[in-house]
Structures are given as structure tokens and as C-alpha cells.
């Protein structure tokens, strides 16, 4: 596997259009790097040899040295992911970024158990980005292959101190490329209707509204609603 990674690195120029991302994922098969082992080893070796792997179509306005490119999360990442998601969505730790929903819902946005189950689900892949000089997580996104040609994107979260810097858009592009490389022809997500600024952001990224779905009042996994008029907007985009 290491020799294969060296060959890929030597023969492939990492392109900003995501060519290397699709090439490596295709080489690894339909479920690349899901567990620790040879696939993870190959993907990690490519990252060390080609630091620009998983290149996004969207330029990042802060220095590349501050973060690494996307990696597939493992169970070791579960607790940091839960902390990151709760900080981004609920303002945990007193840090409120622009995507927070602390005025709509109380309690955790993601529990450790939920994140572990998501990482361990064979239909779901979680991508993460880390700091360039540390292993600290800066952002994450989940991709669930929902049927033969569709994926569900969820849990897109960025450290509140780095929001509005372009990292969220880069993670979204990585998720879309990953899904497309695994056969998805469209991506779908749900966003609380009251989060108009976030919906507008996704629309600028190419998503459009295709419907709505009721909010699951009474389901403890979504937290404690602080309003009685919540519902979800369905957003979709062709890949």
C-alpha cells in the first residue's frame, strides 16, 4: 500500500478540481478507509506525500499551513467531533459562531454515542479537517449514502473562531466530491426553517429548496426545542 501511495504521488499532480480526490477514492473502492488498516494507511501516506490531497474547488482565504486537507474520521475522533459540533451549533464553551442555533434549541446537538454510531455506520462517512500544526479538529461533515444515487449531507460544523473564513465551503465541496466519487448524483440536507442566513448560504452554494418536513418534537436526540413553530426545509443539489 505504501508503494502504491508513492506511485500515485509521483505520477499525479494534485489539482484544484479534485482530480486526486476522485482518483484515490476510486482506487480504494466504494468504502475507502472506513476502518484502520491498509486503506487508512494508503490514504494517510498520500496525505503525507501530497499535502494538497483532497483539494477543494473553493480557495481558502487563510494560509494553508493552518489546516490539513480532509481526512476520514475514525472512532478516535468521536469525542472531539461531538465537542466541535456542540460548540458550532449550540455555542458550547461560550463561543457563538454565526451558524449557532442556541436560541432555537437547548442541550447537545450531538452526543458522543451518536457520533460513534455515525462513524461506525457502513453507510456513513465523516470527513474532518485538522489544524496544520496540531491534531485539533477545525471542521467536520458527514455523508450518508442514501440509496443508489443520492447522499444526505449533515453535521457540517466549523470551529466558531474560523467560521466565515471559507473552511465550511471547502468541507462541503469535499463532501460533494466524495459522494459523487461513490456514485451519488444528488445531495440532500435539511435545515431548520428559522435559520434563514444558513439556508441562504447553502443556496449560494448551489442548493435549492425542494420541500419541508416536520420537526420531531419529543425526540431527545435533537435537543430541547425553545419554540413551538420549528420545521425543516429540504435542500437539494445535483452533483
Q: Where are the domains of the chain?
A: 1-55, 61-238
Distance of CA 43 to the CA centre of its chain: 17
Q: What kind of architecture, by CATH, is found in domain 61-238?
A: 3-Layer(aba) Sandwich (3.40)
Q: Which residues lie closer than 8 Å to 188 by C-beta, 6 or more apart?
A: 146, 150, 151, 152, 153, 210, 234, 235, 236
232 vs 62 pLDDT, higher one: 232
What are 45's three cell numbers?
A: 501516506
pTM over 0.75: no
Helix axes 19-28, 2-11, angle to 10 degrees: 150
Helix axes 167-181, 19-28, angle to 10 degrees: 40
**What CA–CA distance (Å, rounded) separates 191 from 235?**
8
Lowest mean per-residue pLDDT among 4-8, 168-172, 218-222, 231-235: 4-8
User: 30-62: per-residue pLDDT in tens?
Assistant: 444 444 443 333 333 333 333 333 433 333 344
- The DSSP bridge pattern shows strands 71-72 and 137-145 to be unpaired
pLDDT at residue 106, rounded to an integer: 86
The Cβ of residue 18 has, within 10 Å, a number of other Cβ atoms equal to 22
Mean pLDDT of 106-133: 91
What are 181's three cell numbers?
A: 466519487
**What CA–CA distance (Å, rounded) separates 64 from 160?**
18
At which residue does the C-alpha cell 456542540 appear? 86
At which residue does the C-alpha cell 450518508 appear? 144
State the pLDDT confidence band at 81, using cuts at 50, 70 and 90: very high
**What CA–CA distance (Å, rounded) separates 15 from 161?**
28
Q: Are 203 and 227 in contact (CB under 8 A)?
A: no
**What CA–CA distance (Å, rounded) separates 23 from 15?**
11
Q: Go through the chain and tell me how many residues it has.
A: 239
- Inform me whether the pLDDT recorded for 65 exceeds 70: no
Q: Report which of 74, 211, 85, 62 is spatially closest to residue 156, judged by C-alpha positions.
A: 85
The DSSP output letter for 12 is -
- The per-residue pLDDT of the chain, averaged, comes to 76
Q: Are 187 and 236 in contact (CB under 8 A)?
A: yes
Helix (H) or strand (E) holding 120: helix 112-120
Mean pLDDT of 84-102: 76
69 vs 193 pLDDT, higher one: 193
List the end-to-end C-alpha distance of the chain, in Å, as a whole number. Answer: 30
Q: Are 202 and 187 in contact (CB under 8 A)?
A: no
Amino acid at each position: 500500500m505504501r508503494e502504491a501511495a508513492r506511485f500515485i504521488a509521483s505520477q499525479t499532480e494534485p489539482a484544484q478540481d479534485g482530480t486526486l480526490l476522485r482518483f484515490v477514492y476510486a482506487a480504494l473502492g466504494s468504502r475507502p478507509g472506513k476502518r484502520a488498516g491498509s486503506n487508512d494507511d494508503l490514504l494517510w501516506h498520500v496525505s503525507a506525500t501530497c499535502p494538497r490531497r483532497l483539494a477543494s474547488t473553493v480557495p481558502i482565504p487563510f494560509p494553508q499551513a493552518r489546516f490539513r486537507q480532509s481526512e476520514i474520521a475514525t472512532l478516535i475522533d468521536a469525542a472531539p467531533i461531538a465537542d466541535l459540533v456542540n460548540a458550532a451549533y449550540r455555542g458550547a464553551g461560550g463561543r457563538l459562531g454565526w451558524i449557532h442555533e442556541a436560541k432555537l434549541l437547548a442541550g447537545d446537538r450531538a452526543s458522543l454515542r451518536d457520533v460513534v454510531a455515525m462513524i461506525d455506520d457502513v453507510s456513513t462517512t465523516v470527513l474532518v479537517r485538522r489544524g496544520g500544526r496540531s491534531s485539533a479538529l477545525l471542521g467536520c461533515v458527514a455523508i450518508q449514502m442514501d440509496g443508489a444515487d443520492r447522499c444526505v449531507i449533515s453535521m457540517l460544523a466549523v470551529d466558531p473562531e474560523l467560521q466565515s473564513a471559507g473552511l465550511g465551503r471547502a468541507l462541503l465541496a469535499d463532501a460533494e466530491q466524495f459522494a459523487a466519487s461513490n456514485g451519488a448524483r444528488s445531495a440532500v440536507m435539511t435545515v431548520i426553517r428559522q435559520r434563514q442566513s444558513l439556508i441562504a448560504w447553502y443556496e449560494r452554494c448551489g442548493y435549492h429548496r425542494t420541500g419541508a418536513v416536520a420537526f420531531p418534537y419529543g425526540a431527545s436526540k435533537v435537543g430541547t426545542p425553545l419554540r413551538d413553530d420549528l420545521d425543516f426545509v429540504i435542500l437539494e443539489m445535483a452533483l
